[in-house]
Amino acid sequence: MTTEQIDEALSGAVERGEIPGVVAMAVGEDGIFYEGAFGRRSLAGDAAMTMDTVFRIASMTKAITSVAALQLVERGKLTLDDPVPAIDPALAKPQVLVLFDRSARPLLRPARRAITLRHLLTHTAGFSYEAWNRNMLQFNGISKLPPMSSGKRAALRVPLMFDPGDRWEYGINIDWVGRLVEEVSGEPLDVYMREHIFAPLGMKDTGFRPSEAQRARQATIHQRNGEGLVPQPFEELITPEFWAGGGGLYSTAADYIAFLQMLLHGGTHNGATILTPATVKMLGENQIGKLHAGIMKTTTPARSRDVNFFPDIPVGWGLATLINEMRGPHGRSMNSLTWAGLFNTYYWLDPTRRIAAVILMQILPFVDKEAAGVYGAYEEAVCKAVDAG
């Protein structure tokens, strides 16, 4: 198998100044068949991207948190279809935002049905994100709740935008899943993940709070604006009231590939069984019926562009990922699993070709045109390399 075209797709984007730097890896049944690092960690410095560069993977955290919850389902501590444990009024007695009155006050009503873990895992519970929902943006603007970035539990206590089960909408659902994992397991989420996922899989550089050594290897986020790509200062490290299961992890390409290899191999990797094959199979099957997933209209263009990874292709959602129900535009097989992180980190798992891949960048806005173009070119080159043998 030749991987020269993959190198060219990534290095060319760096040389043209489309992105500051990128790290990518791909694996098949026999292990890693591609790894590459190009460009710089920051345009303000000389440090090169390396295979051990640490990235903020944002919503790529969600699949890991979902797996943690499914472990507890397997152990009989959670169920998919019963009402979730009443750990907070926002889950026990959810309220739906109906509208805002003439004084811009939110009018709420009780939800028509209870929230289940399946609702949360599939983003059909009714929770949303202000970045893609104007009502949520308005509510957050007038409420006295702390922002999600504060790490305060009160930040999660927002109303639903619709009744559980009525539609798909991306939101803070998996942050609530993380809280359920904490309450049911009796362990903070970082401890639970370290003991039950990261250590068994050998994911030594993945966690919610980077060490000093990991911080020294961290890539800088760049904001694209009228002046081009502008390096941003590192985020402040806080001690939160809850660890953000929806988007708080730092990781490396090698660590995340180990997680994907576990899914690729039916729940087992590195001599450790994380999930049973039956649960992994269910995780990768559409769980939302004819509801359509994956389309998100931005309310904050500097943070995210409109999101629609598969125009004109039916897509569903499993218990952790988006699923394209037809062949993807860059070559991936139908029924592949995928999602991404806010700072333009992406992964996919192709069950037909038996491959999985990650590509990591640190750029805002999400689905930035240039970064998304690099992702597409990378995927196409990987698929061609695999098909060529």
**Type of residue numbered 198:** F
- DSSP class per residue in 21-64: EEEEEEEETTEEEEEEEEEBS-TTS-PBP-TT-BEE-GGGHHHH
Q: What is the pLDDT of residues 349-379, one digit of tens each?
A: 999 999 999 999 999 999 999 999 999 999 9
Q: What is the pLDDT of residues 314-358, one digit of tens each?
A: 999 999 999 999 999 999 999 999 999 999 999 999 999 999 999
* 150 flagged as catalytic: no
pLDDT of residue 378: 98
Nearest CA to 105 out of 138, 127, 130, 147 is that of 138
* 59 flagged as catalytic: yes
- From 34, 129, 170, 347, the catalytic residue: 170
pLDDT of residue 307: 98
pLDDT of residue 203: 98
- From 34, 42, 62, 129, the catalytic residue: 62
* 281 flagged as catalytic: no
Q: What is the pLDDT of residues 122-165, one digit of tens each?
A: 999 999 999 999 999 999 999 989 999 999 999 999 999 999 99
Specify the pTM. 0.98
Query: In Å, what is the CA distance from 122 to each residue of 253, 262, 284, 289, 318?
Result: 25, 21, 11, 11, 6
Per the rule left: phi > 0, alpha: psi between -120 and 50, beta: everything else, 216 is: alpha
- From 59, 66, 128, 336, the catalytic residue: 59
pLDDT interval class at 1 (50, 70, 90) = low
Nearest CA to 135 out of 104, 157, 164 is that of 104
Report, as an integer, the average pLDDT of 270-278: 97
Report, as an integer, the average pLDDT of 55-82: 98
